[in-house]
Structure 1
Amino acid sequence: MKYMLTMRATDEAFAGMSDTDFNEIIETVGKYNDELIRAGVLVAAEGLDDAEQGVVVDYSSEPPVVTDGPYGETKELFAGFYILNVSSKEEAVEWAKRMPMTGPGFKTEIRRVTSIDEFPQDNEWIQKERAWREATGQL
């Protein structure tokens, strides 16, 4: 089963890391990533750019409204994510507990990534997506 671990932090937590040497951050995260790789559970991992560089598309009106970052509510911003292929939610939780760069103001949300196999296979759109995934080597 695949699980997405989404890293979140408050503005204060990010600010508290501003004095941390970037090379130290890279080494700490790199060691964690290496553990995931050696365990054979890492599918993907990416950090996200600063929220000020992002935008929000709000669909509550027509046409949708696009707002530049930082977002209106910055209590908890997504900082990055991991996708792990593990045997259970409990195993995903155990990996999340070992995540580096944590402390007050940091959280990790864990959600299962659904598989295309869970959808009706006789559906035209599911068949098209499956064909695309096979053609691009994603199945």
Structure 2
Amino acid sequence: MRVMVLVKATEDSERGFVATPETRAAMEAMGRFNDELAEAGILLAADGLTPSSQGKRIAFNGPNRTVIDGPFAQARELVAGFWLWEVKDMEEAVAWAKRCPNPMPGPSEIEIRPIYDLADLS
């Protein structure tokens, strides 16, 4: 089972990355966690995203396309980073997510979403 693990954005992540001793230590802890995921054969991909102020959205309405510049409202509804994992089931994904260092300086959330398999769509 493949899952997308989404690190939800916070007001801090939307301000952008600032290198401090605390953020370096957090990045090192996350690097060790990613190494564990890779060694366990779970990790397929991972990365952090820049603040939404650097992003764009494309709104679709029939044949029309509208480009919307960031930043986007409500940081907690945005994504600051992601992993793509291959796990046995949702229980295993939750167990790994619970081992994750806090991805943000303060309160934060991780969302786990199964990825459709081709068989799911037929």
Normalising by the residue count of structure 2, what TM-score does the alignment of the two structures yield? Answer: 0.80
> In the alignment, what sits opposite 1:129?
none
- Contact 2:8 2:109 (C-alpha < 8 Å) held by counterparts: yes
Does structure 2 conserve the Cα–Cα contact (< 8 Å) formed by 1:6 and 1:80? yes
Moved over 6 A (4+): none
Per-residue CA distance 1:8-46 (angstroms, 9 max, x = gap): 03215666x857434323311110001101111111111
Q: Which structure exhibits the higher relative contact order, with contacts defined as CA atoms closer than 8 Å and separated by 6 or more residues? A: 2
CA–CA distance in structure 2, aligned partners of residues 71 and 50 of structure 1? 9
Offset at residue 72 of structure 1 (A):
3.2
1:109 paired residue among 83, 108, 111: 111
Q: Aligned-pair distance for 1:53?
A: 0.8
Largest Rg, 1 or 2: 1
- Residue pair 2:8, 2:76 contacting (<8 A) in 1 also: no
Match of 1:132 in 2: none
RMSD: 2.4
| 1:84 lines up with 2:70 in the alignment | no
Contact between 2:44 and 2:83, CA under 8 Å: does it hold in 1?
Answer: yes
Q: Does 1:100 align with 2:110?
A: no
Instruction: From the superposition, tell whether residues 45 and 75 of structure 1 become closer, same or farther in structure 2 (CA, over 3 Å).
Output: closer
Contact 1:3 1:86 in 2 (8 A): yes
Give me the TM-score of the superposition, normalised by structure 1: 0.72
Change in 2 beyond 3 A, CA 1:101/1:14? farther
Closer, same or farther: CA 119–25 of 1 in aligned 2, 3 Å: same
Count of residue correspondences: 119
Given that residues 13 and 105 in structure 1 are in contact (C-alpha distance below 8 angstroms), is that contact kept between their aligned partners in structure 2? no
Residue 40 of structure 2 aligns with which residue? 39
Deviation track 1:68-117 (CA, whole Å, cap 9, x = no partner) reads 11113334321111111110101001111111234653111101112224
